Amino acid sequence: MSGLRIEIFPDDLDATVDFYSRVLGFTLLRDERGAASQYVSLRLGDVRVGAARRAPGDAASRRPPTGVELVLEVDDLEAARARVLDSGWPLDEDLTARPWGLTDFRLLDPSGYYWRVTDHEGER
């Protein structure tokens, strides 16, 4: 069995929880927004996202210091897209068939993390 766990460092945990649960369908597993070291953990299937609040401009506690593209493989790409659109969240880029054989759409989370939501590799 394998899975993916990532840690992000947003400025606003409420906006983060709203986006990951309402827009992408994650379930909130751990909610420590009231603690001194604010943290939440969310899960969608075998994917877990941990988010620790960091104040704006706190570059020393943000690692890695450069951006990444986060890729979420889903069983039903059309349903995932519909969920995002139904939530009112804007797409950065709508469904696009890529030269490498996958189809995806892209969006930014409230902190600017760039997500590519795609079908599973090998299905095209």
| Structure-block tokens of residue 104 | 């995806």
Question: Band of the pLDDT at 65, cuts 50, 70, 90?
Answer: very low
The per-residue pLDDT for 59 is 56
Q: Which amino acid is at 112?
A: G
Least Cα distance to 21 among 39, 1, 38, 41 occurs for 41
15 has a pLDDT exceeding 90: yes
Is 2.50.20.10 the CATH classification of the domain at 4-55+66-118?
no
64 has a pLDDT exceeding 80: no
| Structure-block tokens of residue 88 | 């009112």
Q: What is the pTM of this model?
A: 0.76
**DSSP conformational letter for 61:** G
**Mean pLDDT, to the nearest integer, of 54-82?**
75
Q: Do residues 110 and 12 make contact, with C-beta atoms less than 8 angstroms apart?
A: yes
Average pLDDT along the chain? 87
Map tokens 């996202």 to a residue: 49
